[in-house]
Structure 1
Amino acid sequence: MKDSLTHRFMLFTTFVVVSIMLIHFTWDYRTQRAQATLEMHEKAQVITKQLIATREVIAKNQDRINYDSQGNFEFKHLNPAAIGMQIGDIFGQLTNYSIKQTRIDYRASCNAPDAFEAQGLLRFGQEPHLAEIWGEDVVGGERVFRYMVPLHMKEECLSCHGQPIGDIDITGHFKEGYKAEDLGGAISLIMPMDIFLQGMKVDVYRHLSFSLLLIGVIVISMYLLVTRLVTRSLGELKIATAQVGQGNFDIDLNCIKAQGEIKELAQHIQEMANQLKDLYQNLEAKVEKRTHQLELANEDLRIKQDELEAANIKLNEINTYKSEFLAIMSHELRTPLTSVMAFTDLLLQELPKDFIQERQNLNYIKANSQNLLKLINNILDLAKIEAGRLELKLEYVDMADVLGAIDSVVAPLAKKKGIVWEINLAPEVSLLRADPEKLRRVIENLAGNAIKFTPSGGRVEIQMTNAPRENWIIIRVIDTGIGIPPEEQEEIFERFTQVDSSNSRKYGGTGLGLALAKELVTLHKGELWVESEINKGSTFVVYLPKDPDKVD
C-alpha cells in the first residue's frame, strides 16, 4: 500500500502544502516580530521624549520655582534630575515599565547604570552623533525591551554641573565641570515584552490552527479527487490487464468511470484485448499452416542437402581421380624424361665439338626436358598437397647453404640477362628448422620469376632478416621488374594464373610456381604475399617461423 500511486501522490502533495505553509508561517512570524519591535521602539521614543520635555520645562523655570514674589531665593529641590526621579518612581508604580536617568558618575544610587546602560553610555561617549540605543535583554528572568537616549548639557544645567570643578552647587553636591553639549548621562527605559509576545503567540496559534485546518482540507480533498478520478480507474485497468495476461480476453472497459487520458488508455486496452482475442482464435490455424509450410521447407532442405552431399561425394571422387591421374601421369612421365635427359648428356659427351648446330639442338632438348621435369614435379607436389600426402622433413637448416645453392642456379641466369644479383643474409638468422629442399624450391622459384620479369640492367636482391615478431624471419625477394597491378596481386597465387595472359607468351611459364610456393610456405605455417607497383618492381615477402612445431 505504501508503494501505491495514491500514497505517493498524497505524500508529495502533503509535503508541498506543508512546505508552503511553513514558509508562510516563518515569514508571517518574522513580520509580526518586526512589527512588534517597531511598535515598542515607537512607544519608547514617545515616553522618553515626554520625560525629556518635562526636564526642559523644569530647567527653564528654575527661577520661578526657587524665587518667591518678593524675590527671595529658596531652593525647592525641584530641579530636572529630582523631577525625573519622581516621575520614574510614579511611572513605575502606575505601569510595569521602568524609566530612569543614569550616568557613569551618578549622584544618587538609584541612578547607577547596569551593564546594558553602562555599555550604552560608553557608546554615546564614543559616538557623539548616536541618537538612541535599543535592543532586547533579559532582566530578572523576564524578556524586556531596552531603550536609551543621551542627555546633553544645556545652559540651564551648568549652574549645578558646570565650572568650576569641585565647588558645591545648590543641591549640596560637587560640580563635575561639564560644558554645554557635553554628555551628561542618558534616559533608560525598560519595557516588558510579555504583552507583545503574548499577542504574537495568539496570532501564531491562530495562523497555525488555520494552516493545519487548510492542510487537512487540501489533503482530504486531493485524496478523494485522486481516488475517484485516478486510482479507482487504474485499479480496474490493473484487474483487466491481469485477466488479459491470464488469457481472458472477454473484458469490458467501456463502463469504467474515467476521464481524459485514463479513458483513452482504457479504450486502447479494450482494442488490444479485442485484437488479441482475434489473434488467439486464429492462432491455431495459423500455427498449423506455418507448421505445414515448415515441414515442406524442411523436406526441400533435406532433398537439397542430399543433393549437396551427393555432389560433394562426386566432387571428391573427381578430385581423387584427378589427383591420382596427375600423380600417375607425372610419375610415368618422369621416367622417359629422365631417360631423354640422360641420353642427351651422353650424346653431348660423345658428339665432337665442331658439330655446333647438333650440340645446340641437344642443349635445347636438355633445357626443355629440365623445364618439363620441373613442371611435372610441381604438378606432382600439388597433387600430393591436395591429397594430404606431402609432408615436411624438418631439420636444422643453415640458410647460407640454401642460399648458396640458389645462387649457383640463379646467378648465371642473372649474368646472362645483364641483371645485378645480390644476396644479403643477416648472421643472426642463419639457422632455422625447416624442410631444406622445399624451402630452396620456394626461394628459387621466387628468384627465378624475379629474373624472368626484370629487364636487362635491372636488379634482383634476396634479403633475409629477423622479423619484429620473436622467433620469426622475413625473406624478401626484391626486383625492379614490370610490377603487378593491385587487382591481380591476389590472383597470381592461384594455379595456372599469370599477371597477364600475354605474359605467358612473352615470358613463358605455366602459372604453377607461385601457387606451389604459397602451398609450401603454408606447410611451414608461414605466409607469402607480394608488394608491387607497376613499372617499378615487386617484393615477394616470405614470413616464416624459426620452428614450425612451436607455432600454435
Structure 2
Amino acid sequence: MRRITFHIMMAMTLITILVLQVVGSLVDGNAAPQVRNGVMDVRGWDFRSQGLVPLNGQWEFNWHELLSPAAATAPRKVTYYAPVPASWNQFQLQEGKRSGAGYATYRLHIMKDDIDSLYGVWLPSIYSSYQLWVNGRLVLNEGTVSEDENTYEPSTRRRMAMFHMPGEQAEIVIQVANYSHQRGGIWQSPYFGLAEQTIRKSKMETVRDSILFGCLLMVGLYHIGLFIERRKDRYTILFGVLCIAMAFRIVTSGDMLLLSWLPMLSWSINTRIEYILMLIAAMTGVGYIRYLFTEDADACLRTYRFLIGGGSLLIGMTVSLPTSVFTSFLSGYQLYIVAVVLYIFAMNFRAIHHHRLGAYIALIGFAVLSVLVLNDILYSHELAPIRDLAPIGLVVCIFLQSLVISLRYSQVLTDLESVSTELIELNASLEQRIQKRTAELVHMNAHLEKNNKELERMEISRRHLFTNISHDLRTPITLIRGYLEVLQDEIVYDKAEQKKYIRLMLNKINSLNHLIGDMFELSKLEAGQVQFSKQEVLLEHFITHLEDNYKLELSGKGLIFACYNETYRDVPPASIVLRVDLDRMTQVFDNLIYNAVKFTPAGGSITIRIHYTAEKETIHIEVTDTGIGVREEDLPFIFDRFYKKDKSRNSSTGGSGIGLAIAKEVIELHSGQIGVESGQGAGTTFHIVLPAYRISSPQR
C-alpha cells in the first residue's frame, strides 16, 4: 500500500509542477508589455533577465488583403485592430462574422531600445499558411500563402526566425491564408526576444514532444510484449495500442515532427493521421477499461458497442472528407471524446463499488487526464488561456494505468506462487518432509542457542550486578570501620578531629542509605510495585514548577539556569495538559539537573527547552548542560544500573550509578521516552518525550 501511495503522490507532484510551470509562464506573459493599436513598446524590457515577450494584444488587421510590406507600412487609415491570440472566425467586421476560410494581413510596429542584437520570433501553429516579413524582408515562409484557393498550400508547423533589428523601431508583417481548417488566423501567442532565447524555446517545445513520444512508445511496446507473453489479458495490448496511438499523435501536432521524419507526407495527410490517432486512442481506451474491469462490463455493453461504432464512423468521415470539412466538425469529435470519458468514469465507479484491484488508481489517472483534456477542448474554442495540457495529463494517466497493470500482474504472480507452493506441499516426498522437519529442528536449535547466549549474557549481567553492589556496599563500610578503629584506639584526641571523623562516617552512612534506597526504588519500579499518583498538570504550571525548584539554587552555585517554552505561538502553554505524577517527575529532573551540576564548572549553563508537537500530541523536553560531556562509546550504557566505574562521568563523583536508571523507568512508566546526546568536552543533552494533549478552553 505504501508503494502505491508513493507512485500516486509522485504522479500528482509531476502534474502539479508542470501545470504550475505553464501557469507561471502565463502570469509572466500577462506582466509583459502588450500590443496596443498595432504598437508594442518594449523599451526598457531586459530580455536577458525577463525573457521573451508574448506578442499579445491588438494588431493591425486587414481582412481579405495580402499587403506587401511596403503597402503595409505606408501611412493609411487602419480600420480594424484584431486581438492576438484569437482566430479570425470571431472578428466582427463590416461584412459580419468571418468564417475560417480566407486570407488577411497582420501588422505590428515595435518600439525598442537602440541595440543591434540578433533577435528572434517564435511562431506557433498559424492556420494554415503564413509568411513573416520583418522590416520589409521576407524571413519565414510556411506553406503557400495565396488569395486563390487553388494555388494555396497549407502547413502549420511551429517555426522560429532570427534577424537583426538595428535602430529603435521595427515592423513585423504576417500574411495568413487558410482554406483547409475550420478556424483560421493567429490563435496562439507568438513570442519575440533575443535569438538565443527563441532557439531555447523552440528546442524546449521539440524536446518536450520528443520525450513524450519516446516515453509513450516504450510503454506501449512493453505492454504489447506483455500481451504476447500472456494473451489472456487483452487489456495489455489495448493499453499498448493506446500509448502508441497517443505517441504518434504527439508528433503529428505542434512541431509536426512526423513531417520532418517523412517529408513526402502532406499537411492534409498529417492532419488526417492526427484525427484518426485521436479516435483510435479513444476507442482503445474504451476497450482497455472494459477488459480491465471485465466483471462489470456486461452492464455497459450497449454503450461500449455504441462508442466503438461511433468511433469507426468518425474515422470513416476523416478518411473520406476534405480536411476543411471534417475539421469543421471538431465539436463532434470533442463530444465523442466526452462520451468516452463518461463511459470510462462509469466503469471506474462500478469497479470501485465492487472493490476491484487498482480501481482507485485508475480513477485518479483518468480524472487528471479528463480535467486537462477538458482544458484543451475549451482552449480550442478560445475559452481557456492555457494550451497543450492534455499531453501532461496523458503521461500521468499512462503512468498510473501502468501501475494498475503492474498490480494485476503482481497479483497473478502471487496467486501462481501460492498455487505452486500448495502443489509442492501436496506432492512432496517423504525425504522432502524429513528435510523440512530437519530444517525446523535446525531452526529450533538455532533459536535455543540464541536463548542460551541470552541467558549467559543475563547471568554475566547478574554477576556484574552483584559485584557492583558488593563493591558499592563494601567500600563505605570499610571506610566507616577504619574511622571507628581510629576512634576506638584513641589515635585522635582532638575534639575537632574526632567530630571530623564522625561527620565523615555520617556522610558515608547517608550515601550507603541513599544507595540502598535507590536499589529498592529501582527494583520496585521494574517489578511494577510502585503506585503512581498521576494528575493533570498544565504545561504552564509544569514550567513554573521547574523554574521554582532549580533556578535559585543553581544561581547560588554560579551556574546560569533558564527554562524556555518553545511551543507554537497559536498554542499557549495554558492550553496544554500533561498527566503525570509530579513528585516522580521531580525525582527525574533532580537526577538530571544535579547530575549536570556535578560536571558543569562555575560560569556554565544548564537549560531546559520545551516544545509541543500537535501532530503527535507530545511535548519534547531537552535538558542541556555545558559540562565535560560523555564519551561516545559510553552513551549506549548510560542508563544501565551501576554503569559508572571508569566508564562514564559518574566515576569521578561517587554517584551510585542508579539515578539515570530510575529516571528511565519513571519516564517509561509515563508512556514516554528518554535519550541522550553528548560528546567528550561538548556538554550533554537529555531528551524526554511525554504524552500531552490540548484542551479547548485554557485554564488558569
Flag the structure with higher helix content.
1
Q: Between Structure 1 and Structure 2, whose CA radius of gyration is higher? A: 1
TM-score range, shorter chain: 0.3 to 0.5
Report the TM-score, using the length of structure 2 for normalisation.
0.28
